[in-house]
Every structure is written in C-alpha cells, then in structure tokens.
Structure 1
Amino acid sequence: MSGNSDEEGIGYGRPPTSTRFTKGQSGNPKGRPKNRFREAPYESVLGQMVTIREDGEERRITAAEAFLLRLAKRGLEGNGPAARDTMNAIEKTTRTKTDDMMRPKTIVLVSVAPGSVNEALVPLRMAKKLDPYRPTARMMLEPWIVEAALERFGDRRLTRAEQETVVKATRTPYKVAWPDWWEVRP
C-alpha cells in the first residue's frame, strides 16, 4: 500500500478530514429560522372572496362563509356529522356574540376628506382596493398607471426611497415595464 493513511480513509461516506465537521461545531450554525410556518394561513385563505350562485343569482362572499353555507346545506340534507358541526358553529357564534355584548364598546371614527380621489380610482381602473368590502382598505396602483406616470417624468428621476414606495404601492410590480434608470426591482 502506498500513500498517506489519511487518503486511504477517503471514499463514500468518508470525506477528507480537512472538510469534516470539527467536534463541537454545529453543521447548521444559524439554526432553524424562528416563526417560520408557525401557523397555517387560515385567515388569508378563508378571507378570500369567492362567487357563489343561489337561485340563479351570483353574489360574492368570503370563503369562510361559503364553507359554512355548504356545511349547513349538507346538514339540512341529512348528513349527521355536518349537522353536528353546523350546530357547534352556531353555538360558538352565539356564545361569542353574548361575550361581545358584555364588553365595553369602542367607537372608531373614520373621516374622509371631501373630494377624496380614492373612490374615483377604482371605477377608473387606476387602482384596486385590496378588500372591496372594507371602507378603509389599502389601494394598490395598477401597472399601466405607474408606467404612464413614469413616462411623464422625462429626465427627472426618483430617489431610491421613492422608487421603493412606488414598487410597494403597485398591485403587480413585476408587470410594469420599469425604465432603464430604475434601481429597485420587484
């Protein structure tokens, strides 16, 4: 046998000693990220709007409401577990409502300046309201309006902070044809 004794131990499952983990050193020094996948995103899924058809008419409700309607319908059709689950949901809701009635109320005033442009942006399809059923929902700009506004700038350029603000306010920033001088990419 020729060669070094260290080289003889090299092979499948036996890396060179120089690349092996040293004793007492972690193979994952940063560790597992905290709060990652801690809870399922039920609120984002059940809060989405869906279209249902009842008696030939379409209407938009949340996914949670659609789920409960379907569960109640199955319970009324004679499905025992669905009926039990529906009754539990009704009982939980009524219990929550009575608890809410006992708590002190807080009045929140939302004032809108006269002539506010937010309400005009949606019908003009310049912006989209993230939650159409909440009066104070965030508005996001459509990509075409961002492109049109940037064309009007001419030689003027936005600062990096202003660019970040525009990207955050755009509904689908990856669809925008950003100018060559634009630094912040989505």
Structure 2
Amino acid sequence: MTRKPEPPEHSRFKKGQSGNPKGRPRKSLTTGSASTFDVIVDKTLTITQNGVPREVSVEEALQHRTYRDAIAGNRSARREVLKMIAKREQALAKLAPPPAYTVTTAQEEDPDNANAALLILGIACRDPTNYGPNDKYERLLLEPWAVQAALSRRRGGSKLDKKDIEDIRRCTRDPDGLR
C-alpha cells in the first residue's frame, strides 16, 4: 500500500495557525447600482381600462394582473392577493389613531332583561297569581319542557330532597307534567 507523501516542511501551517488568516473577503456594497427588479418596477406602462388609456407603474400592472388571475381561480394568485390585503390592513392599523378610552361606571343588571329573554325564547311565561297590592315584581313560571330538559341534563350528584322538589314544582307552570 502506498502512502501519500507529506507536503514539504516550509509549506505546512504551524500548529494553531489558520490557513486563511484574513478570512473570506466581504462582498463590496456599491450604493450606485440598483437590482434589475428595481429598474423594471420603476418603469411605467400604458394600459387601457374600459377604453381609456392610462399610465401605471409595472408594480401596479402586476397587482392588477394578480387580482384578475385570483378572480379567475388561480390559487397562487389568491394567496398573493390575501397577502397584499393582510399587509395593507397592518399598514392601516399602524396609521389609525389609538382607541379613545372611556371610563364606564358599574351598573346593576336589569333583571327585566333576563325576564324578557326567557319570555321571548318561550322558556317561561308570566305567573297569573296575584301576590297582593304591594308586590312590585313580575313573576315568571318556567315551562315544563325547560325544567324537564334541565333535570335530564343533571349528571351524578345526590337525589333531589323534598325542598328542592317543592321549589321546582312551585316555579313550574304545570308541575304535574314533570316526570
């Protein structure tokens, strides 16, 4: 088996010394030269829209073409249009004034709103019972189907005691219809 000969002693690097002491040369950054893309995009074209010729930049013409392709069903054009829309929305959000902060005071919730919702949804009906001249509350009775649905959704737990059963019967419009 033949061995490869060692390089001569004078051309060898000393131990711990780099073979490329200056490193890779950096690219020169010339400020005067523009990329080919920048040169093309800065040009203007004359296009005819609805029979009227007008001058537009190459960038605007490309955007119009992308919009048309997206409308025609081209998936990649749709993605590009969605990216353009997202970029525009971000730019508009940066330009928008900050929201005006308003201080709101805590208000009590109106129980009539809940009552009205229960009546509209048919979950409850008005209680016809007269509770006397000093009774200022509108009382509602739950519909049997709503009570039955609530009871059937009850999972686990202990059995209902007598007081719970009495409360349910008292608040239901037709308690005898319950199972």
Q: Same fold (TM over 0.5)?
A: no
Q: Between Structure 1 and Structure 2, whose CA radius of gyration is higher? A: 2
- TM-score normalised by structure 2 residue count: 0.37
